[in-house]
Amino acid sequence: MRSQVWILSLALSVSSSARLGGAGQTVKVVVADAPAVVIADFSARVRAYVSLRKNVEDSFTVLRSSNDSAEIAAHKIELAAMIVSARSDAGQGDIFTPEIAMRFRDIIRMTFQSPGAQSVRRTVQDKDPATPIVLRVNLAYPENSPLQMMPPTLLARLPDLPMDMGYRIIGRALVLLDNKTRLIVDFIPAAVP
């Protein structure tokens, strides 16, 4: 599977590879480029989601702040419903495609095997009791369930996300969460070793 990613990258980076000549050098460039291409693809998919959210939000009232908690709650519910409706056909793997998921799993595995991994694992293990979460795209993360602190070491290695988007570890899955609505946008099952 990993070789498939690199083959894809090879196709995308063929011009730069060709310039180098020498088999060893070519392989080196392909290996280096592979993650970048995959991450760029991921970022583009996330941007597309954020753009959809913005379009949906622009179609009614953008809520900056309010003294009225009822208004905040209603805005969130309405926004979530409209996003779900706009991407009703969305499914697991739309953003975390197999290639992207593989790259993310690599990053997570490296983080959990690196020096200092013990404190990362401890961060993930520190949790309040909660009922098991059903992971499904377009489902809202339950309001009454606490969120896991994301390990800072892992966040430093994962691609940056736009405003109001976040990664979360839920069970062993890595979840892409919309912070404005708490909607599960996508997830990678069994991402944490």
Partner 1 sequence: MNRMRRFIWLALFPVCFCLAGQKLTLPVQQGSVRFAAIGDMGTGDPPQYEVASRMNAIRAQFPFDFVIMLGDNIYGGNTSADFEKKFELPYRLLLDAGVKFYASLGNHDAATQKTYKPFNMGGQQYYTYKKGNVQFFALDTNYMNPLQITWLTKELQNSSSDWKICYFHHPLYSSSRFHGASVELRQTLEPLFIKYGVQAVFSGHDHVYERMKPQNGIHYFIEGAAGELRKGDLMRTDITAAGYDQDQSFLLVEISGDVLDFQAVSRLGMTVDEGVFSRAKTSPMTTGR
43 is a contact residue toward partner 1 (CB under 8 A) = no
Site for partner 1 in 59-88 (CB under 8 A): 63-70, 72-73, 76
Q: What is the rounded CA–CA span in Å between residue 120 and residue 109?
A: 11
Q: What is the rounded CA–CA span in Å between residue 171 and residue 135?
A: 10
Q: Is 174 helix (H, G, I), strand (E, B) or coil?
A: strand
7's enclosing H/E stretch is: helix 2-12
Specify the stretch interacting with partner 1 by CB under 8 A; choose among 30-38, 39-47, 118-126, 184-192.
118-126
- Give the nearest distance from C-beta 168 to partner 1 in angstroms: 9
Residues in the interface with partner 1 (CB under 8 A) total: 36
171 is a contact residue toward partner 1 (CB under 8 A) = no
Q: What is the rounded CA–CA span in Å between residue 29 and residue 184?
A: 35
**Residue 175 dihedral angles phi and psi, to the nearest 5°:** -115, 140
* The token pair that represents 27 in the structure block: 């392989």
131 is a contact residue toward partner 1 (CB under 8 A) = no
Binding residues for partner 1, rule: CB under 8 A, are 63-70, 72-73, 76, 116, 119-120, 122-123, 126, 128, 143-144, 146-153, 155-156, 160, 164, 166, 179-180, 182
